[in-house]
């Protein structure tokens, strides 16, 4: 994020888009844009960008872009889809930039790859006609192409593939959908199911990919459902209760992405509406929000991952990421904290001039907000066989540390030390201070160090900002060559500086996990 000029906030942008001003310079006309035409609009004062086949004139948006003009200019006059997906695929650009839409890219005939030994590294997806099985080949090589009249035969050498399939059956009052994944380490976090108004969506996460069953059900079902997971064999059962005891002729009409196995990042974010059930104060500006998932949703947000909240603000859909925490910090880590699966807790700092957090603060108990599927690149496997865990948090950068702390103290048997180094401006800003201090007293593996950048003169603790000397003082292996992980989260410059200091101190890339957007 870069500092924006006064009058260039997201709210100001929303106001401009609603002002009726012609933001494309085309007086509302939509045109077909060729690649050559797109390439001509590559200057700050005349900048077009293509995202997923649609071209936007982003010239008026330049000064409002939270990442700065230079970032936006990286995609000037080109297809910026990959860049956009890398940085913020979650941003609802269709809504934010709808007044900047110039038109579609002109369709260009695709040239067939020629020649023997031509390599393609991409995802190949094929549905076998009449079969509910997906054949997925991750990497494949075209061996040769035979061109015969009216037909082109392409012979591939398959490097590896997976099989995914589903089946369904019924009793008088139940519908059971069974998904066979053959994945041995299947668990509740990898299965996301939603059933809304006859629409069933079941997503199974497989590494960076996901398999989806998505149908418009033949008949209505009741709100509550059950999801059973046979972890060892990777079998998943979704059990729906029929609303009327009629015989179903089919499960339902397949929807667009039904029975597909693709990269997770290629799926659009899916949202469901959750009810705000409570809002409690954590500090003077930070609140703990409890959101209740619908009965017809099965969703467990994994440790280290975040969700996106979406809300319509002044006619524009605004999306922001938040990292779920626990309702409180458990003091006894002998047993895994039992998650009821029905609630999501978010610890959110309300900024006085924040667009989204102000809207959230005004959300009434009993009202609804859209919550997305989880995302994030932290893998619990990073914690396996760990001996020393260091958590460097600044402000609400504490949020991913909550579940991490709980998971590490409960599940990582060889863990010797967990040290939280928590940077805040003042004492009043420290989140869950009492709970952290109690935990440190109770569990000898855990230690917390508060560091304040703007303390009052009564503060007897440590003072300062993240620095090489502070880190060398607090981040120390419990024994030479111990297996260590250092997690860091806070404002972007804090995180970037921290990572650099840690590298300078000799920690390797694998020993550092930075939480970023
Ligand atoms: P905006 O309208 O965008 O900004 C208004 C003003 O608020 C800014 O001028 C600035 O003064 C201040 N401000 C806004 N955003 C930031 C920021 N990111 N850093 C410093 N100052 C800022 N926040 C939480 O409170 N809890 C979480 O669990 C959480 N999880 C996150 C997870 C991820 C992966 C990321 C990338 C961010 C997370 N955030 C979290 C930050 C959150 O997404 C928003 O940026 C924040 O709530 C501000 O949104 P806003 O629309 O109210 O502010
Ligand atoms: P804050 O109160 O403004 O700052 C917390 C501490 O960090 C303060 O001591 C502050 O010192 C210091 N700090 C701020 N900017 C710094 C910088 N550039 N260099 C070094 N130290 C700096 O923090 P906040 O408002 O709660 O913001 C928390 C941040 O965490 C947000 O940016 C949020 O987006 C991010 N976050 C990210 C994730 C994720 O997963 N990626 C999750 C949650 C939160 P000063 O006195 O100098 O300001």
Query: What are the structural domain ranges in the chain?
Result: 10-105, 165-263, 271-375, 380-514
Q: Whose CA is nearest to atom 21 of ligand 1?
A: 491
Ligand 1 midpoint to CA 422 (Å): 18
Mean pLDDT score, 452-479: 95
Q: Whose CA is nearest to atom 18 of ligand 1?
A: 491
Residue 491 in contact with ligand 1 by CB distance below 6 A: yes
Neighbours of 270 (CB within 10 A): 17
- How far CA 425 is from CA of 194, 353, 429, 454, in Å, comes to 41, 18, 7, 5
Residue 425 in contact with ligand 2 by CB distance below 6 A: yes
Picking from 2, 69, 317, the residue whose alpha carbon sits closest to that of residue 58 is 69
323: left (phi over 0), alpha (psi -120 to 50) or beta: beta
**Closest ligand 2 atom, residue 323 Cα:** 42
DSSP 5: P
User: What's residue 110's pLDDT?
Assistant: 46
Picking from 297, 280, 299, 298, the residue whose alpha carbon sits closest to that of residue 289 is 280
Mind giving me the DSSP string for 446-504?
Answer: EEEEEEESS--TT--SEE--S-HHHHHHH---SSTT--EEEEEESSHHHHHHHHHHHHH
Asked whether the predicted pLDDT for residue 297 surpasses 90, the reply is: yes
| pLDDT tens figures, 363-402 | 999 999 999 999 999 998 889 889 999 999 999 999 999 9
The CATH number of the domain covering residues in 10-105 = 3.10.120.10
In angstroms, rounded to a whole number, what is the distance separating the alpha carbons of residues 134 and 136?
Answer: 6
Residue 450 in contact with ligand 2 by CB distance below 6 A: no
User: What's residue 151's pLDDT?
Assistant: 46
In angstroms, rounded to a whole number, what is the distance separating the alpha carbons of residues 441 and 360?
Answer: 35
Report which bound ligand comes closest to the CA of 320. Answer: 1
Asked whether the predicted pLDDT for residue 156 surpasses 50, the reply is: no
The CATH number of the domain covering residues in 380-514 = 3.40.50.80
For the record, the structure tokens of 140 come out as 């494949």
Ligand 2 midpoint to CA 496 (Å): 11
Residue predicted with more confidence, 243 or 337: 243
Residue 466 in contact with ligand 2 by CB distance below 6 A: yes
CB environment 221-258: b (16+ within 10 A), e (fewer)? beeebebebeeeebbbebbbebeeeeeeeebbeeeebb
Average pLDDT across the chain, whole number: 86
**Closest ligand 1 atom, residue 66 Cα:** 3
- How far CA 506 is from CA of 118, 267, 378, 495, in Å, comes to 43, 38, 22, 17
What is the best residue among 302, 307, 321 to mutate for testing ligand 1's pocket, by most ligand atoms within 8 Å of CB? 321
**Residues facing 322 on adjacent strands:** 307
**Closest ligand 2 atom, residue 517 Cα:** 41
Per the CB < 8 A criterion, the answer to whether 304 and 359 are in contact is: no
For the record, the structure tokens of 319 come out as 């999306």
What is the best residue among 67, 397, 420 to mutate for testing ligand 2's pocket, by most ligand atoms within 8 Å of CB? 397
**Closest ligand 1 atom, residue 10 Cα:** 2
Q: How confident is the model at residue 146 (pLDDT cuts 50, 70, 90)?
A: very low
Q: Whose CA is nearest to atom 29 of ligand 1?
A: 322
- Longest distance between any two alpha carbons in the chain, whole Å: 87
Residues of the chain by 3-state class (helix, strand, coil), percent to 5: 20, 40, 40
User: What's residue 139's pLDDT?
Assistant: 39
In angstroms, rounded to a whole number, what is the distance separating the alpha carbons of residues 276 and 383?
Answer: 32
The CATH number of the domain covering residues in 271-375 = 2.40.30.10
Neighbours of 471 (CB within 10 A): 22
Place of tokens 């111990």: 482
Sign of the torsion formed by the C-alpha atoms of 196, 201, 202 and 206: negative
User: What's residue 262's pLDDT?
Assistant: 82
Local structure of 10: helix, strand or coil:
helix
Mean pLDDT score, 14-23: 90
In angstroms, rounded to a whole number, what is the distance separating the alpha carbons of residues 193 and 112?
Answer: 39
Residue 263 in contact with ligand 2 by CB distance below 6 A: no
- How far CA 273 is from CA of 212, 367, 369, 371, in Å, comes to 20, 9, 5, 6
The percentage of the chain sitting over the pLDDT mark of 70, rounded to a whole number, equals 87
**Closest ligand 1 atom, residue 325 Cα:** 28
The CATH number of the domain covering residues in 165-263 = 2.60.40.790
């Amino acid at each position: 994020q870069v500092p924006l000029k006064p009058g260039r906030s997201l709210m100001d942008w929303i106001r401009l888009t609603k002002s009726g001003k012609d933001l494309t310079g085309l007086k509302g006309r939509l045109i077909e844009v060729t690649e050559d035409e797109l390439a001509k609009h590559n200057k700050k004062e005349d900048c077009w960008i293509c995202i997923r086949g649609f071209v936007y004139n982003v010239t008026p948006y330049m000064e409002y872009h939270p990442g700065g003009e230079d970032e936006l200019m990286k995609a000037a006059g080109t297809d910026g889809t990959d860049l956009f997906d890398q940085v913020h695929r979650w941003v609802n650009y269709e809504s934010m930039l709808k007044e900047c839409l110039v038109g579609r890219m002109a369709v260009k005939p695709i040239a067939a790859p020629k020649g023997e030994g031509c390599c393609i590294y991409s995802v190949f997806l094929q549905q076998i006609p009449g079969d509910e099985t997906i054949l997925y080949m991750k990497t494949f090589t075209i061996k040769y192409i035979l061109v015969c009249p009216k037909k082109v035969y392409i012979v591939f050498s398959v490097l590896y593939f997976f099989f995914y399939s589903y089946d369904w059956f019924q009793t008088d009052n139940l519908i059971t959908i069974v998904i066979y994944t053959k994945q041995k380490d299947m668990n509740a976090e990898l299965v996301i199911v939603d059933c809304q108004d006859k629409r069933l969506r079941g997503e199974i996460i497989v590494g960076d990919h996901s398999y989806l069953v998505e149908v418009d059900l033949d008949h209505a079902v009741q709100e509550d459902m059950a999801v059973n997971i046979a972890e060892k064999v990777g079998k998943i059962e979704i059990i729906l209760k029929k609303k009327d005891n009629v015989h179903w002729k089919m499960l339902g009409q397949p929807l667009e992405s039904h029975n597909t196995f693709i990269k997770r990042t290629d799926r659009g974010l899916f949202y469901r509406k959750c009810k705000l059930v409570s809002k409690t104060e954590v500090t003077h500006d930070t609140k703990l929000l409890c959101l209740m998932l619908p009965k017809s949703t099965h969703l467990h947000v994994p440790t280290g991952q975040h969700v996106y909240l979406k809300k319509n603000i002044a006619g524009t859909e605004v999306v922001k990421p938040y990292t779920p925490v626990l309702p409180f910090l458990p003091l006894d880590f002998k047993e895994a904290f039992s998650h009821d699966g029905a609630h999501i807790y978010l610890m959110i700092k309300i900024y006085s001039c924040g667009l989204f957090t102000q809207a959230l603060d005004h959300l009434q108990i009993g009202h609804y907000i859209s919550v997305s599927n989880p995302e994030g690149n932290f893998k619990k496997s990073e914690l396996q066989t760990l001996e020393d865990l260091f958590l460097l948090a600044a402000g609400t950068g504490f949020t991913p540390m909550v579940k991490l702390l709980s998971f590490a103290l409960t599940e990582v048997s060889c863990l010797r030390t967990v040290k939280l180094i928590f940077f805040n401006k003042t004492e009043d800003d420290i989140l869950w201070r009492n709970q952290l201090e109690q935990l440190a007293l109770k569990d000898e593996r855990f230690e917390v160090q508060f560091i304040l950048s703007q303390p009052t003169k009564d503060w007897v603790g440590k003072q300062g900002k993240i620095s090489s000397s502070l880190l060398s003082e607090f981040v120390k292996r419990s024994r030479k060559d111990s297996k260590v992980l250092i997690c860091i989260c806070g404002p972007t410059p804090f995180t970037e500086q921290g990572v650099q200091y840690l590298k300078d101190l000799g920690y390797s890339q694998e020993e550092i996990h930075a939480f970023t957007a």
